[in-house]
Structure 1
Amino acid sequence: MTFLPQAKRFDWSNLWIRVASAAVLVPAVLWAVWTEASWPFLLMVSIAAALLAIEWGGMSAPRAPARVSAAITVAVLCGVFLAHDGQFPLGWAAVGVGALLAALIARGISEHPADAAFGVVYVGAPCLCLIWVRSTPQGQWWTLMLFAVTWAADIAAFGVGNALKGPKLWPRFSPNKTWSGFVGGLIGAFAVGALMTFAPPFRLNPVAAGVIGLLGGLATMAGDLWESMLKRRFGVKDSGDLIPGHGGLLDRVDGLMFAVVVVAAARLVNHLGWDH
């Protein structure tokens, strides 16, 4: 009988660094989401897009990271600014055209065109979804739920996984993640999604919100595993060293980049009877 390998113990030495980093970043994110002015949120998304593009260029185009990063940044920011202006079809078109142009630039400097094109979509699609979710009615609440569900999934998976340990989830790509953490993360995301509906005036059925939270939590962990696969492919441990204790920005928001697509889809079909 074959047994799954057990997860290693977590290195607690940098825990306080991780907590301190979160203590600085979380209030800034919450303020940008909740403030009535739209420019702080646009600034946050724009800075994040540029940093993610830089990290992607550094991982995927080691011979010419600056030029690939610049191409991805320009393409994504064009889409972001158009979306912020309410021109969402043009924003998505900008991402598509930008992906093609980034591929051509990468090909011209002997880098992988597919990686450059994917970088535009990988960074651009979540950014446009994030802009759109916040622009909808009650968009601030939906955006807060997105962040809350993502953080809950990460924290619950981390806590439960380290407390219970047990078999690894996918040891080939992510040796420290466990099945117990996976289940714990889903439960945490479901609970937080449902609890968000008790904060008026957020109009959503608690069960439906819990399901959205569950799907968002599943997407969060899928995004985390996806980035682990990408890092393994590119031969890097972290996407960067921007955030103390966490690595690069991509290491911190990989799950959010998948979860925002799920929440945006849920927001799109919200008219099917999920309101109170």
Structure 2
Amino acid sequence: MAGAEPGAGPAGGSNLKSRVIVGAFLAVIAIADIWVGGPAFTLMIGAGVGLVLWEWGAMHGTPQPWRIAGLAALAGACLMAHLGRPVPALLLLLGAILALLALSILLRAGGKRWISTGLAYAGLPAVSLIWLRGQPDGFALVMWTMGLVWATDILAYFAGRSIGGPKIWPAISPNKTWAGLLGGMAGAGAFSALFAHFAGWPQSLPLMALLGAGLAVVAQAGDFFESWLKRRAGVKDSGTLLKAHGGIMDRVDGLVPVACVVALWASQQRPADYVMRVTEMLA
């Protein structure tokens, strides 16, 4: 989804309008659930990554029992992350990934090995987002993460469509341009700096702008990876849940890697700790 730049055509306007409506609807639901947090947020993330894993399995022809085993591991990891135990959650994911991989090798079922990769693809961002929401400044952290991806999408779309120019990797994603990438980086960088300023985070604004621009590239990489997966599987969309707008994977391809990188960054920077200290000083 990150930086989608559909080509011009007679149906371009209606397609954009439809995408905006669907995107706005999903965004409102997501923001409300992020605000509520707690079990509701964990359930939303668990349901979302469960659908991602199911679509992943369908794309690779993975039998349902293998997908169900992956869903069970995902549910356990989400529960552990919700209980504030991200390390055991990651260890559970790792154990399930290795077990499924070993079983597929033992049974010489090469096609089923992809479920192990799918479990990592769905599980890592799930644990990351649930852990981020559980931090003292969790709402801001998750909204910043989501906002970065949305800013990348929107600015990349309009920059790529209005400027055009050379394609980045036409064999994988024929509509992505360098102009769109730069537009997405500029949008994400500006959003990141403004958000950090109003959230009261202690990092310098130039640093936050650079971080936002870098994460825009990460979001684009996630988009290219999913495009490669679909071309490899010979499908146009990851699924049909959203009808003409594809599947859940098509909507979260940029968020998957960004959530993981943000969680890694936050675990080292802990901006929430600084915000809590400032709040205590002012109280």
TM-score by length of 1: 0.89
**1:15 maps to which residue?**
16
Q: Partners of 2:136 and 2:267 in 1: how far apart? A: 11
Q: 1:211-250 CA deviation, whole Å, 9 max, x = no partner?
A: 2211221111010001111111111111001124421100
Deviation at 1:261, TM superposition (A): 1.4
**2:122 maps to which residue?**
123
Distance 1:212 1:244, change over 3 A: farther
Q: How does 1:221-232 map to 2 (within 5 A)?
A: 221-232=220-231
Q: Which amino acid aligns with 1:44?
A: M
Mean Cα displacement is larger for which, 157-166 or 109-118?
A: 109-118
**2:235 maps to which residue?**
236
Q: Which amino acid aligns with 2:26?
A: L
Q: Partners of 1:189 and 1:242 in 2: how far apart? A: 28
Q: Partners of 1:106 and 1:28 in 2: how far apart? A: 38
Mean Cα displacement is larger for which, 18-27 or 168-177?
A: 18-27
Q: 1:191-215 CA deviation, whole Å, 9 max, x = no partner?
A: 1001102324555432232222112
Q: Partners of 1:193 and 1:143 in 2: how far apart? A: 12
Indicate conservation of the 8 Å contact 1:8/1:176, yes or no.
yes
Q: Partners of 1:262 and 1:240 in 2: how far apart? A: 26
Q: 1:14-68 CA deviation, whole Å, 9 max, x = no partner?
A: 2222112112111110011112x40111111011011111101100125x2x223
**2:246 maps to which residue?**
247
Q: Which amino acid aligns with 1:54?
A: W
Distance 1:116 1:271, change over 3 A: closer
Structure 2 gap ranges (5+)? 1-5, 276-283
Indicate conservation of the 8 Å contact 1:205/1:275, yes or no.
no
Q: Which amino acid aligns with 2:67?
A: S
Mean Cα displacement is larger for which, 237-246 or 26-35?
A: 237-246
Indicate conservation of the 8 Å contact 1:18/1:244, yes or no.
no
**1:194 maps to which residue?**
193
Q: Partners of 1:74 and 1:271 in 2: how far apart? A: 31
**1:85 maps to which residue?**
83
Q: Partners of 2:103 and 2:154 in 1: how far apart? A: 39
Deviation at 1:104, TM superposition (A): 5.1
Give the match's secondary structure for 2:254.
helix
Q: Which amino acid aligns with 1:22?
A: G
Q: Which amino acid aligns with 1:164?
A: I
Q: How does 1:106-185 map to 2 (within 5 A)?
A: 106=104, 108=107, 110=109, 112-185=111-184
Q: Which amino acid aligns with 1:27?
A: V
- Percent of aligned pairs sharing the same letter: 32
Deviation at 1:102, TM superposition (A): 2.9
Q: Partners of 1:223 and 1:186 in 2: how far apart? A: 14
Structure 1 gap ranges (5+)? 1-6
Distance 1:189 1:165, change over 3 A: same
Q: Partners of 2:206 and 2:274 in 1: how far apart? A: 11
Indicate conservation of the 8 Å contact 1:186/1:214, yes or no.
yes
Q: Partners of 1:67 and 1:236 in 2: how far apart? A: 22
Q: Partners of 2:193 and 2:26 in 1: how far apart? A: 25
**1:3 maps to which residue?**
none
Give the match's secondary structure for 2:193.
helix
Does residue 73 (structure 1) correspond to residue 71 (structure 2)? The answer is yes
Distance 1:200 1:183, change over 3 A: closer
Q: Which amino acid aligns with 1:80?
A: C
Q: 1:81-139 CA deviation, whole Å, 9 max, x = no partner?
A: 11111122210111011113333565659452431110111110111111111112211
Q: Partners of 1:80 and 1:249 in 2: how far apart? A: 18
Deviation at 1:162, TM superposition (A): 0.6
**2:57 maps to which residue?**
57
Indicate conservation of the 8 Å contact 2:192/2:212, yes or no.
yes
TM-score by length of 2: 0.87
Q: Which amino acid aligns with 1:87?
A: R
